[in-house]
Amino acid sequence: MPLWLEPLERLVEAGGAVLVGIALVAMLLFAMALERVWYFRVTYRRARRELIGHWVARADHASWSALTLREAWTQALLRRLRRPLPWLRLLVGLCPLLGLLGTVTGMISVFDSLALSDSGQARAMADGVARATLPTLTGMAVAVVGLLFTSRLEHIIRREDQRLHDRLARAVEERHA
């Protein structure tokens, strides 16, 4: 077996194949989180500056149609910021379920091996139960971290919604001052 596959083999031995699935979901979840951080720091800020520039360049800022256009522009920008939230929530909800699946399959294998061995070795059962509960612990840990990130992203989006409206109003005031 190649050297780079040894950690994966140890992972499967420690918690079963479901633990590999949880690891893949965790990698996808954290890759999406990093992408959102990058998007917010680079792409979103540039798009926000462009939106403010377009808004300030307009001659009309007070009519109903101008305010409706401003709202449509801001909501379109915020919608791009919100785009991955349903996927992040799905992955966060999937982690504990995969952990439970790993525990159930692990316990089935523990009971199966105990039935085949015809001996009630307490140590073997304790090791098997510990191995079976590892996916649940991992799934819950990944879900908690993902939930923290998702709730933080939702907080940032709500804050940016308010800040964007404030910046648009302030930019128009500064232009007319």
CB within 8 Å of 31: residues ≥ 6 apart:
none
Q: Of 80, 97, 95, which is closest to residue 153 (Cα–Cα)?
A: 80
Which pLDDT value is given to residue 171? 85
Q: Of 143, 170, 165, 151, which is closest to residue 70 (Cα–Cα)?
A: 165
* CB 114, CB 125: distance < 8 Å: yes
Which pLDDT value is given to residue 152? 94
Which pLDDT value is given to residue 177? 66
Which pLDDT value is given to residue 129? 80
> What is the rounded distance in angstroms from the CA atom of residue 72 to the CA atom of residue 50?
15
Mean pLDDT by 10 residues, the chain (177 residues): 80 80 94 94 94 91 91 94 94 95 85 70 72 89 96 94 91 78
Tell me, yes or no, if the pTM score tops 0.85: no
Q: pLDDT digits over 117-167, tens only?
A: 666 676 667 777 877 888 999 999 999 999 999 999 999 999 999 999 899
User: CB neighbours (10 Å) of residue 142?
Assistant: 24
